[in-house]
Amino acid sequence: MSERHPKKTRRIDLAQTVTILANIGVIAGIVFLTFELRQNNAQLASQFRTSFYAMRSELESDFIRNSGGIADSLQTTRTPRPGKSSSRKRSPRGGARLG
């Protein structure tokens, strides 16, 4: 009554082994590429911040260097303050009037 089933042994041949190893290699390559891309993005962001702040610093230093000339030109176009001798008198509204 009892039938004997022959043992089915699953034998992996060489082609399957190579295919499995190749698939594992592809997955490992994708994982490695993901880490590389993240690292590259972080490096690019850091480089952008560095160049942005360097440019900002350069613009600020140029502004500070040139602000003396701007202040002198503004000083010559301003109306004199009350109390200084001038031919202009201040109007009640704050503007200058001749008189």
Residue 61 has a pLDDT of: 87
Rounded (10°) CA dihedral 60, 64, 65, 68: 150
Q: What percent of the chain is modeled with pLDDT above 90?
A: 42
Residue 64 has a pLDDT of: 83
Over the stretch 43-91, which tens digit does the pLDDT of each residue have? 999 999 999 999 999 988 888 888 766 656 556 655 666 665 555 555 5
Mean pLDDT over the full length of the chain: 78
Mean pLDDT to the nearest integer, 14-35:
95
Distance CA 57, CA 51 (A): 10
Residue 73 has a pLDDT of: 59
- What global pTM score does this model have? 0.43
